[in-house]
């Protein structure tokens, strides 16, 4: 059923509020805007009681926000962070009590990166039709195939959650899952980096010197605000490559920038003064930029030996406890961890040094003490 009126939405939310758990998903278009444009919201109370909410017809989604914020109802998503960010912006609410089936799969020995269709095939032996992946969800009316496709994305979420929970080996690992799920109650976990940290997501930042990083940080802060205010993609303001070329060469003259980068004439005309202002702030800033997370770490012989022991322990222990080793951490995190333990790099807080991951790695920490 397609919900297109506030009255029908209120009735649906009232029924959903009496459920122990509901399935949720979103469909959106993200091509020429800073924010994704929400085209559809799917909500399932059971496998037979599934609904589509039309955000194009209902402008006030605060009723849905009250459901999202209700801590007594479990909201089940597959790969929750992006949906949470979209729904939080659309409703003004902070979602609570989230269950992510993709994440949970990693605590059952399955891959924590499985698509929903693959997870449904593994657990329920059902093949989903995925022919509508390129649908324009802002176009109306939706045809029967599009509607069925959208409903199938939430139809099986409640059943999958139950199957995943029952597949977890022991109460300790289940407690680790719920500790990880609690992170999804915090918007900072899924709303993306702050403006002054966005530059660290630019791949080429790893190759810049400290002054170049300072320039890139200020350029990135300016571009982020410009893109958000205009509701345009960052790259439509000025591409990453141009920002990095300016930062790498420490360019401080607009004519040089036009000559030595691919800054368009239009961008130079519209943003020239603002670009120069950002560069000046970067050149004169006394605040040291953080090291890009992708920066290549040089490992000593001792570091490499410690890393090999860490990888072996993670692999063996993950297999015994039935979890996906990738949820413990990635290669870059492990490199930082061994360098910190060997006191060969500046200490920084890693997620492996607290919470359930620290407990998982307690044998390794004991051996490395």
Average pLDDT, the chain: 94
Task: Give me the residues paired with residue 37 across strands.
Answer: 29
Task: Give me the residues paired with residue 76 across strands.
Answer: 23, 99
Give, in order, the Cα–Cα distances in Å from 42 to each of 64, 105, 167.
11, 22, 26
166-210 pLDDT, tens digit per residue, is 999 999 999 999 999 999 999 999 999 999 999 999 988 988 999
343-363 pLDDT, tens digit per residue, is 876 667 899 999 999 999 999
Gap between the Cα atoms of 135 and 114, Å rounded = 22
The answer to whether 202 and 240 have CB atoms below 8 angstroms apart is: yes
End-to-end CA distance of the chain: 60
231-248 pLDDT, tens digit per residue, is 999 999 999 999 999 999
**Where does the pLDDT of residue 11 fall: very low under 50, low under 70, confident under 90, or very high at 90 and above?**
very high
- Phi, psi torsion values for 236, nearest 5 degrees: -80, -15
Residue with tokens 């009723």: 63
Q: Is 147 helix (H, G, I), strand (E, B) or coil?
A: helix
Q: Give the pLDDT confidence score for residue 347 in this predicted structure.
A: 66
Average pLDDT of the residues in 132-146? 90
**Where does the pLDDT of residue 30 fall: very low under 50, low under 70, confident under 90, or very high at 90 and above?**
very high
Select from 27, 23, 68, 12 the least CA-distant residue to 46: 23
Q: Give the pLDDT confidence score for residue 293 in this predicted structure.
A: 47
Pairing state between β 2-3 and 50-53: parallel
Q: Give the pLDDT confidence score for residue 253 in this predicted structure.
A: 95
316-342 pLDDT, tens digit per residue, is 999 999 999 999 999 999 999 999 998
The count of other CB atoms within 10 Å of the CB of residue 75 is 26
Topology alike, domains 2-189 and 301-368? no
Gap between the Cα atoms of 190 and 80, Å rounded = 9
pLDDT over 80 (residue 26)? yes
* DSSP state string for 221-249: HHHHHHHHHHT--HHHHS-HHHHHHHHHH
Residue boundaries of the structural domains of the chain = 2-189, 195-284, 301-368
Average pLDDT of the residues in 214-232? 97
- Cis status of the peptide bond prior to 19, with omega within 30 of 0: no
Average pLDDT of the residues in 286-291? 72
Thinking of the domain 301-368, which architecture would CATH place it in?
Answer: Orthogonal Bundle (1.10)
Q: Cα–Cα–Cα angle for 234, 240, 244, nearest 5°?
A: 145
Thinking of the domain 195-284, which architecture would CATH place it in?
Answer: Orthogonal Bundle (1.10)
**Where does the pLDDT of residue 296 fall: very low under 50, low under 70, confident under 90, or very high at 90 and above?**
low
H-only helix segments in the chain: 6-16, 62-68, 80-91, 101-105, 116-124, 144-155, 157-167, 170-182, 210-230, 234-237, 240-249, 254-260, 265-284, 301-321, 331-341, 355-360, 362-368
The answer to whether 289 and 210 have CB atoms below 8 angstroms apart is: yes
Q: Give the pLDDT confidence score for residue 134 in this predicted structure.
A: 79
What kind of fold does domain 2-189 have according to CATH? Nucleotidyltransferase; domain 5 (3.30.420)
Gap between the Cα atoms of 270 and 274, Å rounded = 9
């Amino acid at each position: 059923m397609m919900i297109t009126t506030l009255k029908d939405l209120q009735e649906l939310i009232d029924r959903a509020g009496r459920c122990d758990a509901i399935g949720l998903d979103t469909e959106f278009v993200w091509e020429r805007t800073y924010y994704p444009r929400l085209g559809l919201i799917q909500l399932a109370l059971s496998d037979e009681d599934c609904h589509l909410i039309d955000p194009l017809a209902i402008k006030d989604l605060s009723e849905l926000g009250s459901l999202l914020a209700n801590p007594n109802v479990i909201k089940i998503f597959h790969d929750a962070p992006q949906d949470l960010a979209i729904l939080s912006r659309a409703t003004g609410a902070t979602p609570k009590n989230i269950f992510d089936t993709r994440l949970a799969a990693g605590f059952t020995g399955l891959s924590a990166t499985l698509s929903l269709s693959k997870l449904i095939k593994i657990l329920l032996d059902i093949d989903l039709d995925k022919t509508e992946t390129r649908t324009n969800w802002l176009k109306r009316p939706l045809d029967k195939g599009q509607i069925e496709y959208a409903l199938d994305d939430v139809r099986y979420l409640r059943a999958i959650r139950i199957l995943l929970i029952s597949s977890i080996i022991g109460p300790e690992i289940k407690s680790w899952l719920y500790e990880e799920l609690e992170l999804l109650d915090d918007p900072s976990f899924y709303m993306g980096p702050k403006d002054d940290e966005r530059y660290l997501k630019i791949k080429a930042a790893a190759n810049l010197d400290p002054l170049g990083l300072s320039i890139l940080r200020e350029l990135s802060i300016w571009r982020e605000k410009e893109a958000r205010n205009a509701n345009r993609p960052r790259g439509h303001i000025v591409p990453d490559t141009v920002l990095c070329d300016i930062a790498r060469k420490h360019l401080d003259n607009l004519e040089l920038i036009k000559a030595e980068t691919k800054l368009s004439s239009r961008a130079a005309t519209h943003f020239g003064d603002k670009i120069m202002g950002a560069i000046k702030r970067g050149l004169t800033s006394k605040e040291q930029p953080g090291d890009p997370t992708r920066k290549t770490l040089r490992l000593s012989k001792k570091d490499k030996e410690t890393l090999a022991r860490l990888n072996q322990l993670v692999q063996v222990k993950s297999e015994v406890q039935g979890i996906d080793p990738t949820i413990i951490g990635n290669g870059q995190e492990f490199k930082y961890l061994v360098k910190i333990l060997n006191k060969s790099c500046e200490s920084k807080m890693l997620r492996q040094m607290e919470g359930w991951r620290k407990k998982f790695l307690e044998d390794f920490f004991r051996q490395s003490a």
